[in-house]
A and B are shown apart, each in its own frame.
Chain A
């Protein structure tokens, strides 16, 4: 029998209603797991008191038969670039250490209004810039799967003298903390953000469902912006149905975010698809790159075969400009970053240096002290592309290429394709020590390759965990849907999830084994990037 923490949202909600477990007990279980898995470094702030108070209130509601909905009493975690009223929000940067927002992001408010319990703020790459969750001032996040039995056994084959814990693998990024939090069963759902794949990438590497909704479906008010024209709040859960529940609560027009569409939205229940014979699945040929690992390629191929064997039409399609997506993203992202980061000057909030000679000197020193190299690098690149002499050749050019990419997708969907099926990442998670051999920009360019174009076009996409690699690490595949057809996308994803039966519970038992080992033994201190 599955433990409570391994169940779906609806199952736990039913259990809460029936009194099989109380919100406080559930909250305590999660808090205790958070303490046990502290070495993962998934959380920047653990809001124990807040969570327990919310649990108490939830319990009262259940006693009176007035629960707010499926999410009432459910522990969740929020990525630390969403503003949370009264709770420190750092974006994993020195610039915002100690910053306490006076308001909740709209998505946070919606979750709280549904009675969800806030476990804490999770770790990320600084200002969501990165694909490994390794560039945070609070240290890198460790993938819980690093501690799975299978993976540990492989490690023992390595030469002697190596530190027990030195071969841990990354979570992917930049929403790595959220992914680790859900994957380690410390919460049932977590919010991430997705600008180039930052929710889907860690979802794939941590064996989770990671949803990037259509741009304009979910409010970005309170999400500290990276690229305003591409950012989307992301949802990380263990099951597709859970993600659909959360998305249903979060979607909808927000007067405080003028980039949200005004189409009416209501919470939806995913139908259980049994017949896929009317579907057309597109396989973009340009995604078959030489760097794709053979394991991922094989799973991708098997997935396509699965759809075909069940009667769906599976066709090869072409996205001719997709190979320019990463370059295009690089220019547009750094340009928007240069603009968005300009607000951090130390005057009204955030870090402020001690220099008082002049405003400019104060701003410059504050920003030097507050931002890490990655952020500073992107700001400088962005400023370069926005120079008068470069504006036309780089920024406008990139915007034109963006249209070409977006049109490629439109053409494919117009030709009768319902969803695209692609890999999410090139391979399963790599060891941290290997990941840091290349710089942030290089890694992002490599890792975002399958996910990035989706943000360019503003389409919805989801990662579904498929199988474990030879090393015992998760591999996922991505479905991309038409704009604002998020429900259809998740319906197909749910069908696929059922066929695949990814081993979710395996991790829980193995982690319990492992926690006691790590607590007693000597643990390497968090290795910060050099």
Chain B
């Protein structure tokens, strides 16, 4: 039946090389290297937190690999469904603002009219230097 045919084709085996993913895995579930974990955590400024989370990402990547079965030669990427319309531009007049006080109220740490941030330009410690965050 046609519906079944579609589902079967979605389970086509994974192939090809991918940057940080080992291709030795026959199931194509794409294991993520420790290097990649650190790289993503640094970019996202969010940590995996557990082995399960890494496994979930691996599953998500494997799931996304199904996209490669679609033929998209000559197809332009679509950024917005409203691409055929002209974007509305309003005139460059100041119509609102002057609400610094209101906005400052939402912050936990302010001094006069400044948001206070800790010192910058201090890189996060490397994975092996910091306290182990990954729980097994």
B72 and A358 contact, CB distance less than 8 A? no
Given contacts A215-B82, A377-B57, contact A352 B46 (CB under 8 A): no
Given contacts A99-B106, A380-B57, contact A385 B64 (CB under 8 A): yes
A362 and B117 contact, CB distance less than 8 A? yes
Instruction: Please choose the segment from A241-249, A395-403, A429-437, A464-472 that sits at the chain B interface, where 4 or more of its residues have CB less than 8 A away.
Output: A395-403
Which single member of B3, B19, B46 contacts A364 (CB below 8 Å)?
Answer: B46
Chain A residues with Cβ below 8 Å from B53 are 373, 376-377, 380
- B136 within 8 Å of A (CB atoms): no
Report the Cα distance A253→B106, complex, angstroms: 29
A362 and B118 contact, CB distance less than 8 A? yes
Report the Cα distance A360→B43, complex, angstroms: 10
Which single member of B85, B88, B109, B119 contacts A352 (CB below 8 Å)?
Answer: B109
Instruction: Please choose the segment from A53-61, A200-208, A321-329 that sits at the chain B interface, where 4 or more of its residues have CB less than 8 A away.
Output: A321-329
A368 and B88 contact, CB distance less than 8 A? no
B81 and A399 contact, CB distance less than 8 A? no
B72 and A401 contact, CB distance less than 8 A? yes
Which 5 pairs, one residue from A and one from B, show the smallest C-beta to C-beta distance? A458-B81, A399-B77, A358-B122, A403-B78, A400-B72
Which residues from chain A sit less than 8 Å from chain B, CB to CB? Answer: 99-100, 102, 215-216, 229, 253, 255, 258-262, 285-286, 288-290, 321, 323-324, 327-328, 330-331, 334, 338, 345-350, 352, 355-364, 367-368, 371, 373, 376-377, 379-385, 387, 389-390, 393-394, 396-404, 406, 439, 441, 445, 457-458, 483
Which single member of A253, A258, A327, A355 contacts B67 (CB below 8 Å)?
Answer: A327
Which single member of A102, A253, A324, A458 contacts B66 (CB below 8 Å)?
Answer: A324
Report the Cα distance A328→B115, complex, angstroms: 39
- B80 within 8 Å of A (CB atoms): yes
Which single member of B40, B45, B57, B70 contacts A404 (CB below 8 Å)?
Answer: B70
B19 and A253 contact, CB distance less than 8 A? no
Contact with A along B20-57 (1 / 0, CB 8 A): 10000000000000001001110111111100010011
Chain A residues with Cβ below 8 Å from B107 are 347-349, 352
Chain B residues with Cβ below 8 Å from A356 are 118
- B97 within 8 Å of A (CB atoms): no
Which single member of A261, A288, A289, A390 contacts B85 (CB below 8 Å)?
Answer: A261
Find the residue from A253, A349, A400, A401 having the highest chain B CB count within 10 A: A400
Chain A residues with Cβ below 8 Å from B44 are 338, 379-380, 382-383
Report the Cα distance A285→B1, complex, angstroms: 11
- B102 within 8 Å of A (CB atoms): yes
B43 and A401 contact, CB distance less than 8 A? no
Chain A residues with Cβ below 8 Å from B99 are 102
Q: How far is the CB of A463 from chain B (nearest CB, A)?
A: 21
Closest Cβ neighbor of A290 among chain B residues:
B3
Which single member of B40, B78, B105 contacts A384 (CB below 8 Å)?
Answer: B40
A359 and B106 contact, CB distance less than 8 A? no
A381 and B118 contact, CB distance less than 8 A? no
Which single member of B47, B72, B102 contacts A397 (CB below 8 Å)?
Answer: B72
A357 and B118 contact, CB distance less than 8 A? yes
B78 and A399 contact, CB distance less than 8 A? yes
B45 and A373 contact, CB distance less than 8 A? no
A404 and B115 contact, CB distance less than 8 A? no
Contact with A along B60-99 (1 / 0, CB 8 A): 1101101111101001111111100101111000000001
Q: How far is the CB of A413 from chain B (nearest CB, A)?
A: 14
Q: How far is the CB of A372 from chain B (nearest CB, A)?
A: 10
Chain A residues with Cβ below 8 Å from B41 are 364, 380
Report the Cα distance A406→B81, complex, angstroms: 8
Chain A residues with Cβ below 8 Å from B87 are 258
A-B contact pairs, 23 of them (CB 8 A): A259-B80, A262-B88, A285-B3, A288-B3, A289-B3, A358-B123, A359-B122, A360-B123, A364-B45, A367-B45, A376-B47, A377-B56, A384-B57, A384-B61, A394-B67, A397-B70, A400-B72, A402-B78, A403-B77, A404-B72, A441-B63, A457-B81, A458-B81
